[in-house]
Structure 1
């Protein structure tokens, strides 16, 4: 019972103290003779403020290639170290080429054999054509002699049959030559294919860039198009991909149409100046799920500070707002009714004025509505103030 009495007494004392404080605040706000509260003041300035979009972006390689073996075989040598920078056309891996070299030799031999057969058949064709001409003339003479009764009709018919046989032989040899020519073309195609397969034993870089980890080491057997040997990322230049609210789409399209929209990318923890780039891609549709649109900016990345997969702080300069009313961000207060600031009046008192907030830039903020340039606002000590209180500038 005694404990309950003590708790009740403490609660009454706290309530009395709160009422006393509220009453004293009200008196101070309405009493011109009350002592002025010491606060820090700042003057609202008119200046040009950049209108920016700030967001988070992700660095992407402008091109990536997964290097694979086009043919099967044993990797006998690698010509780079993991993480090396390579140029387009540099030799990366070598596959044991002995089997493919023998295939080339075999098809070269087949081609030479068939070319020799073609030459032989062409010689046979020349002989057959000569015989055709001879027996054709002989058949003509026998036909004339048979008409004059000098030779029998049987001899003339035999000469005609022999001439037809020689003509048939010419056609047969010509067909054989055509067949050999087709075989030669097939041999040439097979030889080209064998040479191509041999060239694939030397695996070269298709783009210039930085190599990743070597997933299959020399000495291992690989299958054609089975698995990645290494991945190459081209990082000069580099992409930074990010999204912005669709409300900015019209402004973005207008600026991009004018030619080049500058972008800066700040690397967290990096004290060096921001990297500079330009927007080069605007997606063709707004993401209905997030209400944002995807963009890409291209950065020269000459010093390779931007790394694929890295997150960066992106700033897009849309335009510059001239004669903006700018105050320190510390002056801005908020309540359930919205944003407001304490403004110093001519009577050295403060009034609570609602404001509409515009662009933020580091520690400054632009006020689109509710404040004029040259007015003084409270930037420190707002918690002790109420509308109508007298204030003085802190020394």
Structure 2
């Protein structure tokens, strides 16, 4: 009985084995799955590389107006918000010691002039005495030569000595005139210095602008604004606001594209408007801390509608390429490196093509060589793809249809 059951069980196992073998022989081979990839077309487009940076308006020039000399403020004629022109009087200082110095210098000039007159008169006297002594010597010498023995030799020598002494006195008088004239020049210089210092008591505007701060009032003691007087108080602060500066931090990647005279758009938020400007100057050096180069744009402000401290967005038009072949940024493998490639789908097969790129914008990149108009390139991630692989290509959903990027 047991043997019969065992035999029946072996029969069932054999039947199942035969059935499985038959099924394996009749099953079809597995089908390899073809990956689906997003593609974009290589199309002509106009590419523009724009840079937008924020900047703050600053006065074209601004200065704290200091006093050249120390004194008390006699009167101050301006206040915050007043517009002044170059040369206008801002304040006047009371400096009595400078007035005394000026009077002393004027007296010194008068003394020097009198000394010049006295020295010139002495020259005339010495010149007359010299002429007389010379004539006397010539006469005695002539008589002594004509009538020998008539005039003693001693008298001839005395006359000659007097002639020489008179000549020396004349030379001394001429030197005294020169010294008196030099003293007159020194006195004139001292008077001019006192006069100039007196003029410094009147504080004038160094350029046309607006008074933005007033430090002093009538009666304030003002120290001379020299380098050794670090605590000297200014009179006012003056800012030139009819022309403003915008200082732009241009990143190092765009430094080579920035040129003086380049047009920029200055966008204001309040009130909303756009001004046209040009790049006026740049530092021509990159700051190591920020990796940016300071670039300035001058913005006219004749109507005074712009106020220093306001912010603006500046759009720099760095480069433009009209009607050039381009692809989306993520279609290029190795962008920014020395080896750049694109995966091109032709006839359902992937081809890895070396390319050369040009201008790069925020979304697209110019193709200089390697691709043709109408080629389909794989966008997005390229991991797992290989040259010669079959793929199922479908247009990318974000592919731009615009001709401008």
SS at match of 1:277: strand
> Closer, same or farther in 2 for the Cα pair 1:368/1:182, shift >3 Å?
closer
SS at match of 2:258: helix
The residue aligned with 1:117 is 115
Which consecutive residues of structure 2, in runs of 5 or more, have no partner in the other structure? Answer: 1-42, 226-231, 326-359, 367-372, 375-393, 395-405
SS at match of 1:155: helix
Larger radius of gyration: 2
SS at match of 1:293: strand
- Within 5 Å, give how 1:1-395 maps onto structure 2: 51-147=49-145, 148-225=148-225, 226-253=232-259, 256=260, 260-268=261-269, 270-320=270-320, 322=322
Superposition deviation, residue 320 in structure 1: 4.7
> Closer, same or farther in 2 for the Cα pair 1:271/1:310, shift >3 Å?
closer
TM-score (norm 2): 0.64
Q: Tell whether the 8 Å contact from 2:77 to 2:90 is kept in structure 1 after alignment.
A: yes
> Closer, same or farther in 2 for the Cα pair 1:47/1:86, shift >3 Å?
farther
> Closer, same or farther in 2 for the Cα pair 1:149/1:231, shift >3 Å?
same
Which consecutive residues of structure 1, in runs of 5 or more, have no partner in the other structure? Answer: 1-44, 326-357, 361-365, 374-387, 389-395
Q: How big is each residue's C-alpha offset from its partner over 1:130-180, in whole Å with a ceiling of 9 and x where there is no partner?
A: 111111111122233344222222222222222222112112211211111
RMSD in angstroms over aligned alpha carbons? 3.4
TM-score (norm 1): 0.66
Q: How big is each residue's C-alpha offset from its partner over 1:204-254, in whole Å with a ceiling of 9 and x where there is no partner?
A: 01111111211122211212113322221112211100112222223324x
* Distance (whole Å) between structure 2 residues aligned to residue 307 and residue 46 of structure 1: 44
* Distance (whole Å) between structure 2 residues aligned to residue 115 and residue 163 of structure 1: 31
Q: Tell whether the 8 Å contact from 1:214 to 1:229 is kept in structure 2 after alignment.
A: yes
Q: Which moved more, 1:97-106 or 1:146-155?
A: 97-106
Aligned length: 294
Q: How big is each residue's C-alpha offset from its partner over 1:296-321, in whole Å with a ceiling of 9 and x where there is no partner?
A: 11111223333334332222223456
SS at match of 1:213: strand
